[in-house]
Structure 1
Amino acid sequence: MLGSSLTSALLLAVAVSLLALSGPTHAWWCKGHMVVNEIAKRHLNQNVAAFVDEAAANLSFSGPFPQFFDFVQSACWADDIKSRGLYVMDDWHFIDTPYNPLNVPIKKDPVGKDNAKTVIESLTKTLENKKGHKLVPYILSFALVNLAHFYGDIHQPLHSITLFSPTYPDGDRGGNLEVVHVRGATMKLHAVWDSICQGEQPDLPRPLSEKEYAKLRAFADYLEDTYKPTTAEKSETNVTVMAEESYKIGVEVAYPGIVNGMKLTEEYLERCKKAAEPRLVLAGHRLATILNHVFSDVGTDQSLKSGSRCRAPSSFLHVIFRGAMLGSNE
């Protein structure tokens, strides 16, 4: 018995180590991000929908990423570039608000200066003041596609919380340090929520085939038919409110009963699903609200046409950072 227990403990330790070394997981995975953009696009003004499709397609020609020719498939670009070794924007994907039920001493505030909340606010201001900033097509496309992605991220509950405990004195990185077993697969707790509580699943290859696109649209249909947020909820654009909503779900649904190495019950996965799915709907509606706002002049101002296919200027990060800072200081 002792040998069996020791073997199990060693196997769990190895699994934890391997999963921890695999780096941060991507919020909602690509399917979730694309369904957020699909729902958003359904609620965009017609001229705005056409414009964001063109702007997103422009970005796909800037590098050797999975090709996407519309706004919906551009949703995963911020994760694509991480897989290509660009980690400078890692902190943009989350806001690690401490959850410390046992009041363990916290050595360092986990909420960084650059986080999902501050970046969403800065990118929004950059797009609101696009004419003043004289944004070139690449920068506009970059800001748009990233804003959409981070709207998805901040609605994923484990992107707005990190658990502190004696086991995790430096925080659990939004569930990235807990390993759980889900329907025969070993996953990080964070990844379970990324999967919309469905467990392991293959990434959708892009560009999407007609069959896969139809499945994505059917999933969006199901979500919108099942979850009916109020008008006030759909039009909420206060990023602090979004982060607080996600944090609350983390405290009330994601973490209760979780023990590292446990097998998740079907009851937990059902609660997870009922908490995660409406977040996708809210993210889509709220993204549509902000895009209809920042691009309200599209179609009336010819200078906002995205023009020919853009190439990334060598100084694009400098320009977007400068644009974001200008926006945040206004």
Structure 2
Amino acid sequence: MKRLFQSILVFIGLLFITLPAALGWNKATHMAIGAMAYQELNTTSPQLLPKLLTILKQHPYFQNRWAPQMAALKLSQQEQDEYLFMLAARWPDDVKGTDPYHDHFSWHFINYVYAPQQGIARSDSALPTGETILQAYALNRQLLKSNVADSSKAIALCWLFHLTGDVHMPLHTSALVGTQFPQGDKGGNLFKIKLALSSNTTNLHSFWDGMLLNSDDYHSADSLATQERAAFSRTQLPQLGNPDLIAWSKESFQLAQDNVYRNNTLQAGSETEGSVLPPDYIATVKPIARRQVALAGYRLADELVADLSN
């Protein structure tokens, strides 16, 4: 009874801890998710693309930043359109720390409580961190379907692109709390690892961020998107039948427990010396990361059709 009471006290205490998480996937992977949504819409709902592109061209960054970037690459018109989706998908990370008006740090994640030492894994409540990814997604969907100016809709679109990607990254849905991380591991940022004994120390979040793609150029993102659609057809992803963002976040939370942290068996190193990942870790989790990116791309396309077809 004493141990149970202590566990309850720990959980109550956790509810008052603010545990920020870093942004991710990385920008390149977000670009690939945007590209995948573009490719999917171009195949299944091409009539919707002009409407989306018209809105995105009203974005405050389009004339002075995005248009010159596209022109410099000498892309075809269709490639420019796809690249605009890529830029939109990464934009919420681009403004982090540089554009206080548009930057909303807490929108990128939700901290469901994962405290395995206390036997706690809760997806019916979250640590207080400000507006969560769930609230941000609902807000921006509402804006997109409202009568606000297209410039505001363009910003909402960028957030929907980006948050759809973020919610499929398992480390954006969990806060690991325990003896080593009494205030949480900040989405894996404090969880120090090495890929091999001779490798430099990094962190779990950074590893997951860049697992699939590190080059943020147009052709690399386009190639990954094409590979994802070829490797994962819709029939291979029964989860696509659930259009609810809360359900997506809970899927990711379960993946964090089972696969990212391996049911609390994955060992974290010290600040200066990361723990070497198990030999089979990368081979085990990389297909999971790929499937999550594919789900994000398809779900983003489906959400855009649902919100803007009428």
TM-score range (shorter-chain normalised) is 0.7 to 0.9
TM-superposed CA distance for 1:271, in Å, is 1.4
Tell me what 1:209 maps to. none
Could you say which residue in structure 1 is the equivalent of 2:6? Answer: none
Matched, 1:259 2:268: yes
Asked whether the 8 Å contact 1:35–1:72 carries over to 2, the reply is yes
Cα offset, 1:155, TM superposition: 0.4
CA RMSD of aligned residues (A): 2.7
Contact between 2:110 and 2:126, CA under 8 Å: does it hold in 1? no
Please tell me whether the aligned partners of residues 21 and 187 of structure 2 are also in contact (alpha carbons under 8 angstroms). no
Distance 1:249 1:229 in 2: 20
Task: Tell me, yes or no, if the aligned pair for 1:28 and 1:196 is still in contact at 8 Å.
Answer: no
For residues 90-101 of structure 1, the aligned pairs below 5 Å read 90-101=105-116
- Distance in 1 (alpha carbons) for counterparts of 2:241 and 2:86: 20
Counterparts of 1:187-266 in structure 2, within 5 Å, are: 187-196=202-211, 201=214, 203-204=215-216, 212-230=217-235, 232-256=238-262, 257-260=266-269, 261-266=274-279
SS of 2:138's partner is helix
Percentage of identical aligned residues:
24
Query: CA shift at 1:83, angstroms?
Result: 4.1
Tell me whether 1:77 sits opposite 2:91 in the alignment.
yes
Could you say if the C-alpha distance between residues 252 and 24 of structure 1 is closer, same or farther in structure 2, counting changes exceeding 3 Å? closer
1:122 is aligned to 2:139:
yes
1:31-80 deviation digits (Å, cap 9, x = unpaired): 11011111111222213222223322332237667946612222110001
Q: Distance in 1 between matches of 2:35 and 2:285?
A: 22
> In the alignment, which of 172, 192, 204 is matched to residue 179 of structure 1?
192
**Paired residue for 1:61?**
62
Tell me the TM-score normalised to structure 1 length. Answer: 0.71
- Retained in 2: the 8 A contact 1:98–1:171? no
What CA distance in whole angstroms lies between the structure 2 residues aligned with 1:105 and 1:218?
40
SS at match of 1:82: coil
Return the letter of the residue paired with 2:207: V
Unaligned runs of 5+ in 1: 1-22, 205-211, 298-330
Cα deviations across residues 211-258 of structure 1 (Å, max 9, x unaligned)? Answer: x43332221222222223447522432011100110011001111223
Which residue is equivalent to 1:143? Answer: 156
Structure 2: gaps spanning 5 or more residues? 1-19, 71-79
Q: How many residues align?
A: 260
The equivalent residue for 1:321 is none
Q: Distance in 1 between matches of 2:234 and 2:206?
A: 25
Distance 1:154 1:285 in 2: 13
Aligned partners of 1:30, 1:88: CA distance in 2, in Å? 15
| 1:172 aligned partner, one-letter code | D
Measure how far apart 1:89 and its partner are: 0.6
TM (normalized to structure 2)? 0.75
Amino acid at match of 1:58: Q
Q: Could you tell me how far apart the structure 1 residues matched to 2:256 and 2:134 are? A: 17
Which of 288, 293, 297 is the equivalent residue of 2:301? Answer: 288
**Residues 177, 184 of structure 2: 8 Å contact kept:** yes
Looking at structure 2, the residues matched to 258 and 53 of structure 1 have their Cα atoms a distance apart, in angstroms, of 46
Check whether the contact 1:235–1:289 (CA below 8 A) recurs between aligned residues.
Answer: no
